[in-house]
Amino acid sequence: MPSSDPEHPGLLVRDPYRFSDSMLLIPPQLVSCLACFDGQQTALDLRATLVRITGQIQVGEIEKNLFDTLSEAGFLEDEKFEQLRAARVSEFAVAPKREASHAGSAYPEDEEEARKTISGFMQGAAAAADGDSQIGIAAPHVSPFGGWESYRDAYSTLLPSYQDRTFVILGTSHYGEPDKFGLTRKPYVTPFGDAVTDVALVDELASAAPGAVRMEDYCHAVEHSIEFQALFLKYLYGPNIRVLPILCGSFARSILHGGKPEDNPDVERFFGALGNLAAREGNRLFWVLGIDMAHMGRRYGDQLTARADAGEMQAVAERDRIRIERMNEADPQGFWSLVQENHDDLKWCGSSPIYTFLKTVPQARGTLRRYQQWNIDEQSVVSFAAISFR
């Protein structure tokens, strides 16, 4: 992403998988050189680019420094990167718990501070509805500091009596393999204690649809879409809550090339397995969707400078609401046809968890409790919502 510091302009490069902990600032004049590291061009192509940029013939030292810096940071596909990746994946595989990777940045790491923060977010929440017909919610996975009102309006619907249910958390897998579902047996660590994973249900899904499952998926180690839901659930219910954390990879092939996600037989088997589990367990489960919706603006590759609830974003809001209507009416095909329009130019990163839910819990009917747009930076907007399902 572009540096926001005018004193230090350039391109900030980091690894969202966290195989590498490095962050590099590439000077503006060298940014175009990154295109030479595409696996097709040669060192001669890089040298020619540097000669053109600098106007100098002797560029060997600059070339070596750029190459060595990128390699040492773990940003080239080479032996150094493979070592970093293997170490991280192995580290997660043997770890007894899924550590809270965003504690201390997206929310406080200290229990007392975290409780104070979440309590502040939940102030002014409407009273939970009477009865126990509610079976799930959709909440954001954007930073709690940016989306706290929608988090509040989603989680305030949960009754104390739900604490004995297993919370099936369907989260967006931002970095996972398309058409795959990431599972883990590890408990999710939060400042309020661990959310214990229902291992028996994990094993049931892995056994029923092995072709669709990534077991002990490393993406769990870095993904925030489930972590933020575990945080709010532990705040509400304290010890002994059980979760079934499922990272849903994108259904990009269906979006780009048409057809339904379940045209992939592995995806169809997973939908069937999860649907069987939902039918058998009934109200012993509670469904939590960790989803954001549209991603618009410069950060996301659009030419427009996006402003929440203004200009082009008003039209985005209307299109979002039409999709939400299809969700709430339990219309998976109607919803998916809207996602496929223009190859999902709204860039809804929550579309795969939503579709998975609609296909596996067909009796759910939703109510929109809040819709929001938030400027994640001065030029880019994310939309999200609070929805309850009955």
- How far apart CA 157 and CA 113 sit, in angstroms, is 24
Question: Do 366 and 275 reside in the same domain of the chain?
Answer: yes
Residue 129, pLDDT score: 64
Place of tokens 């039409």: 322
Neighbours of 347 (CB within 10 A): 16
Residue 362, pLDDT score: 96
**For residue 3, is it within any domain?**
no
Cα distance from N-terminal residue to C-terminal residue, the chain = 41
Residue 12, pLDDT score: 93
**For residue 96, is it within any domain?**
no
Q: Yes or no: say if 137 and 389 are a contact pair by the CB < 8 Å rule.
A: yes
**Angle, helices 60-73/79-94, rounded to nearest 10 degrees:** 10
Residue 160, pLDDT score: 93
Question: Do 172 and 288 reside in the same domain of the chain?
Answer: yes
Q: Closest Cα to residue 223, out of 191, 248, 241, 240? A: 248
Final residue belonging to a domain, choices 39, 69, 90? 90
**Angle, helices 265-281/199-208, rounded to nearest 10 degrees:** 140
Question: Do 265 and 385 reside in the same domain of the chain?
Answer: yes
**Angle, helices 227-237/144-155, rounded to nearest 10 degrees:** 50
Question: Do 75 and 119 reside in the same domain of the chain?
Answer: no
**For residue 2, is it within any domain?**
no
Q: Yes or no: say if 346 and 255 are a contact pair by the CB < 8 Å rule.
A: no
Provide the token pair at 316: 């985005």
Final residue belonging to a domain, choices 56, 90, 124? 90
Residue 4, pLDDT score: 80
Model confidence, pTM: 0.92
Cα distances (angstroms) measured from residue 148 to each of 103, 129, 151:
16, 20, 5
Question: Do 76 and 181 reside in the same domain of the chain?
Answer: no
Residue 34, pLDDT score: 93
**For residue 247, is it within any domain?**
yes
Question: Do 63 and 108 reside in the same domain of the chain?
Answer: no
Question: Do 77 and 121 reside in the same domain of the chain?
Answer: no
- How far apart CA 363 and CA 135 sit, in angstroms, is 10
Question: Do 275 and 382 reside in the same domain of the chain?
Answer: yes
Question: Do 52 and 150 reside in the same domain of the chain?
Answer: no
Question: Do 86 and 175 reside in the same domain of the chain?
Answer: no
CATH number of the structural domain spanning residue 337:
3.40.830.10
Residue 58, pLDDT score: 86
Q: Closest Cα to residue 100, out of 229, 188, 206, 7? A: 188
If one counts the domains in the chain, the total is 2
**For residue 168, is it within any domain?**
yes
**For residue 53, is it within any domain?**
yes
Question: Do 192 and 61 reside in the same domain of the chain?
Answer: no
**For residue 374, is it within any domain?**
yes
- How far apart CA 192 and CA 197 sit, in angstroms, is 15
Final residue belonging to a domain, choices 42, 59, 90? 90
Question: Do 53 and 202 reside in the same domain of the chain?
Answer: no
What number of residues does the chain have? 390
pLDDT in tens, the chain (390 residues): 888 888 999 999 999 899 999 999 999 999 999 999 999 999 999 999 999 988 888 888 999 999 999 999 999 999 999 999 999 999 999 999 999 999 999 999 999 999 999 999 999 887 766 567 899 999 999 999 999 999 999 999 999 999 999 999 999 999 999 999 999 999 999 999 999 999 999 999 999 999 999 999 999 999 999 999 999 999 999 988 999 999 999 999 999 999 999 999 999 999 999 999 999 999 999 999 999 999 999 999 999 999 999 999 999 999 999 999 999 999 999 999 999 999 999 999 999 999 999 999 999 999 999 999 999 999 999 999 999 999
- Residue range(s) defining the domain that contains residue 159: 102-389
**For residue 189, is it within any domain?**
yes
Can you list the alpha helix ranges (DSSP code H) found in the chain?
A: 43-54, 60-73, 79-94, 111-122, 144-155, 199-208, 219-222, 227-237, 252-257, 265-281, 312-328, 332-340, 351-360
Provide the token pair at 259: 């057809």
Q: What is the DSSP letter of 130?
A: S
